[in-house]
């Protein structure tokens, strides 16, 4: 294969990603109602964006004796503020603009890896379009172009998954770099570092690698990727210890400022499963109610995927069933880890912001769905009932996304 042939999938994926990102930015800016494009763009900086801007402008600060009213800004991991600082340093643009440009460049990277995974799996164009629509119509998908850490986290996540499955030394270096950024962007990125180990263990050939030494040899490259991938978050904790004397200052600040107290046994209590009726607020359903319902409804959705995987493994040939499951299981594990850790962190706050935190797990489920439907045993098109269900799912998600981006652009709380 010539260099031009190798480069062609990357160029096509990047071009498609640029188009999707541009559409998201235009629609989000249009929702602001601002006639001036520059001001409309700045409307995508709200709430947490101001705290990220403070980190970019002043660095991390913390008073000697933090209180709920004065607790500093060590409440966010450094990946996203660092990327915005690089944009600011390279261009001289104001911090709010740099935050948006950094996020939207990461959004472009996210969609690029989204389409590159489809290319690797040889997904037909119609299925690729379906996956794009399902992802772009998620209620919180507009956060991919807002001044938040979601796009950088998701770009790093898909890049980590994409390069972790390559055999070349350059690919492993890129996987480690993406993993490092992943764990440096959000705390849930640290446990995701196990993905290459899990994927290699399940998908590597069994022949000739028996015994503990064979297992170690088979997993050594994956371990070499996983270790630096977890280092991004680890170095942030080390920085907090050296600079402020508390390695867990991030958790302390979250507790002081937002009353975040993780509960690892949250799903053994009744509260996460309690159905409540929505309350009318700001001209629409109260956002925390929607976050709670999003967290609740993700559980049966995830369970449905697992049941479907069991049935597929039993009904298809071993090549289409078991092998396909082995390729997807790592994504299911990562989706569950991100969901569970995020939900445990906000379980005492009625699952606030989970409509945004569940975006990562939803991306992975969309990828799993497309992967299933693109396998040889799935030829013949989508069943009518599945087309209807996916159409209703996308329509409902788009409706709430439109309302959400209008609210966000007008300074109202969303997630």
DSSP, res 147: S
Does 204 or 137 have the greater pLDDT score? 137
Q: How far is CA 254 from the centre of its chain?
A: 20
Per-residue model confidence as pLDDT tens digits over 81-118 = 999 999 999 999 999 999 999 999 999 999 999 999 99
Does 389 score more than 50 pLDDT? yes
Per-residue model confidence as pLDDT tens digits over 238-275 = 999 999 999 999 999 999 999 999 998 888 888 777 77
pLDDT at position 405, please? 93
Per-residue model confidence as pLDDT tens digits over 167-220 = 899 999 999 999 999 999 999 999 999 999 998 888 766 544 555 566 677 788
> Looking at 3-7, 23-27, 169-173, 175-179, which range is the least confident one?
3-7
Residue 415 lies in a domain: no
Does 57 score more than 80 pLDDT? yes
pLDDT at position 317, please? 53
Q: Which helix (H) or strand (E) holds 31?
A: helix 3-31
Percentage with pLDDT > 70 across the chain: 92
pLDDT at position 395, please? 94
pLDDT at position 321, please? 47
Measured N-to-C along each axis, helices 287-315 and 322-346 cross at an angle, to the nearest 10 degrees, of: 160
Closest CA to 119 of 45, 10, 264: 10
pTM for this prediction: 0.94
Contact between residue 63 and residue 244 where contact means Cβ atoms under 8 Å apart: no
Which residues, in sequence order, are bridge partners of residue 281? 284
pLDDT-derived band at 319 (thresholds 50, 70, 90) equals very low
Does 61 score more than 80 pLDDT? yes
Distance, CA of 97 to CA of 44 (rounded, Å): 10
Query: Looking at residues 26-43, what average pLDDT do you find?
Result: 93
Residue 343 lies in a domain: yes
3-state percent helix, strand, coil for the chain, nearest multiple of 5? 75, 0, 25
Measured N-to-C along each axis, helices 150-164 and 95-121 cross at an angle, to the nearest 10 degrees, of: 30
Residue 22 lies in a domain: yes
What is the token pair recorded at 318? 């071993």
Q: Categorise residue 283: left if φ over 0, alpha if ψ from -120 to 50, beta otherwise.
A: left
> Looking at 113-117, 197-201, 350-354, 378-382, which range is the least confident one?
378-382
Does 3 score more than 70 pLDDT? no
Does 379 score more than 60 pLDDT? no
How does the average pLDDT of the chain come out, rounded? 90
**Beta carbons within 10 angstroms of residue 321's beta carbon:** 19
Per-residue model confidence as pLDDT tens digits over 114-125 = 999 999 999 999
Count of CA atoms in the C-beta half-sphere (13 A) of 377: 16
Burial 179-201 (b: 16+ CB within 10 A, else e): bbbbbbbbbbbbbbbbbbbbbbe
pLDDT at position 375, please? 80
Does 312 score more than 90 pLDDT? no
Query: Looking at residues 364-388, what average pLDDT do you find?
Result: 83
Residue 414 lies in a domain: no
Domain encompassing residue 208: 3-409
Query: Looking at residues 339-348, what average pLDDT do you find?
Result: 94
Residue 47 lies in a domain: yes
Q: What are phi and psi of 284, to 5 degrees?
A: -155, 180
Domain count, the chain: 1
What is the token pair recorded at 185? 């962007």
Distance, CA of 185 to CA of 179 (rounded, Å): 10
What is the token pair recorded at 226? 């996983």
Residue 342 lies in a domain: yes
Does 25 score more than 80 pLDDT? yes
Does 6 score more than 80 pLDDT? no
Which residues, in sequence order, are bridge partners of residue 285? 280
Contact between residue 163 and residue 175 where contact means Cβ atoms under 8 Å apart: yes
Per-residue model confidence as pLDDT tens digits over 245-254 = 999 999 999 9
């Amino acid at each position: 294969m010539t260099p031009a042939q190798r480069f062609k999938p990357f160029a096509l994926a990047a071009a498609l990603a640029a188009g999707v990102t541009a559409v998201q930015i235009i629609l989000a800016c249009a929702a602001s109602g601002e006639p001036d494009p520059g001001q409309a763009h700045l409307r995508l900086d709200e709430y947490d964006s101001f705290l990220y801007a403070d980190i970019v402008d002043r660095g991390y600060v913390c008073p000697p004796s933090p209180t709920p009213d004065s607790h500093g800004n060590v409440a966010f991991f450094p990946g996203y503020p660092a990327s915005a600082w690089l944009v600011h340093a390279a261009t001289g643009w104001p911090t709010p603009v740099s935050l948006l440009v950094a996020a939207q460049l990461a959004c472009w990277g996210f969609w690029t890896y989204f389409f590159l995974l489809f290319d690797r799996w040889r997904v037909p164009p119609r299925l690729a379009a379906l996956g794009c629509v399902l992802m772009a119509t998620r209620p919180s998908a507009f956060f991919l172009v807002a001044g938040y850490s979601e796009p950088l986290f998701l770009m790093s996540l898909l890049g980590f998954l994409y390069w972790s499955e390559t055999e070349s030394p350059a690919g492993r270096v890129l996987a480690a770099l993406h993993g490092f950024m992943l764990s440096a962007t959000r705390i849930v990125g640290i446990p995701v570092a196990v993905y290459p180990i899990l994927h290699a263990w399940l998908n590597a050939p069994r022949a000739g690698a028996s015994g503990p030494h064979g297992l170690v040899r088979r997993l050594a490259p994956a371990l070499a990727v996983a270790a630096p991938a977890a280092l991004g978050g680890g170095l942030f904790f080390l920085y907090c210890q050296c600079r402020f004397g508390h390695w867990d200052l991030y958790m302390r600040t979250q507790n002081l400022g937002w009353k975040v107290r993780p509960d690892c046994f949250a799903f053994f209590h009744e509260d996460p499963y309690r159905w409540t009726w929505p309350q009318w607020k700001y001209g629409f359903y109260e956002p925390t109610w929607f976050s709670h319902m999003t967290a609740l409804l993700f559980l049966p959705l995830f369970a449905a995927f697992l049941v479907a995987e069991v049935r597929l493994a039993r009904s298809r040939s071993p090549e289409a069933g078991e092998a396909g499951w082995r390729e997807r299981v790592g994504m299911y594990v990562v989706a569950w880890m991100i969901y569970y850790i995020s939900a445990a962190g906000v379980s005492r706050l009625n699952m606030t912001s989970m409509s945004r935190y569940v975006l990562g797990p939803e991306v992975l489920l969309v990828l799993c769905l497309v992967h299933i439907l693109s396998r040889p045993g799935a030829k013949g098109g989508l069943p009518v009932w599945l087309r209807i269900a996916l159409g209703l799912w996308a329509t409902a998600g788009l409706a709430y996304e439109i309302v959400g981006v209008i609210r966000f652009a007008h300074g109202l709380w969303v997630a």
